[in-house]
Amino acid sequence: METFILKLIVTPVLIGVASLAGRRWGQAVSGWLVGLPLTSGPIAWFVALDHGVGFAAATAVGALAAAIAEAAFCLAYAYTARRAPWPLCLVTACVAFTAMAVGLRLLTLPVIPVAAIVFATLAIALRAMPAGSESRATPPPRWDLPLRMVTATLVVVAITEAAPALGPRLSGVLGAFPVYAAILTVFGHRSGAASATQVLRGLLLGLFGFAGFFLVLALLIERAGLALAFAGAIATTLAIQAMSLIAVLRTPKALGAIGP
């Protein structure tokens, strides 16, 4: 019961803070922010509390590998957006993510080779993203922020409660589905494909920190315990995110602010 209450409190607070910060500083920054493990991190914590550190370690490897599926999501949406409206783009990106996630279930390599593949994939995807500068976005409706918070909470609760049936790898992959990035991208797309692309480019840069988080977590959680593993993972993520923020701020028009 205590962990369930924590899920209902921690998750919407995290997503609310990230959404407001992204709204203040722009499309690319909002994508970069949701690259943080704001959903999958709490999922890993609650999974460890509910099912043990061994299960959580395997979940962390699944989440780490899922960054590849997120890269597929970004590329599929960005290239489809050059010719199609957002509903078709979103469907195409979700299909790309799902197909890659299904394939990742067959990936049984140790965590270090998986991490090497993930970082290489993110670097390639970032270079392959289509170019596009950001235009000023339309102010989001009032229900936007509550919807994000409710959606985030539902995802965290659903995946953690279903974790025993899904298994650790699939739990990690599904926990990494870019729900918030999808919402931000669709709203950005209202101002044009270039704005949507900026969100996705920011997400790809943020995923380096995401991958660092789950690499450290997978390596430490069984050896050092829950608290130290998460402390190390968070410190690693913040260090990587600080470096990737420089790249975000150098993106042309990356800081075109979203209206309040």
In SS3 terms, 34-62 reads as HCCCCCHHHHHHHHHHHHCHHHHHHHHHH
Predicted TM-score (pTM) of this structure? 0.77
Q: Which pLDDT tens digit goes with each residue over 136-168?
A: 555 667 777 787 788 777 877 776 677 667 776
Mean pLDDT, rounded, of the chain: 80
- At residue 100, the 3 state secondary structure works out as helix
Does the pLDDT at position 255 exceed 50? no
d(CA 43, CA 55): 12
pLDDT digits (tens, 9 = 90+) for 204-251: 988 999 999 999 999 999 888 888 999 999 999 989 988 887 766 665
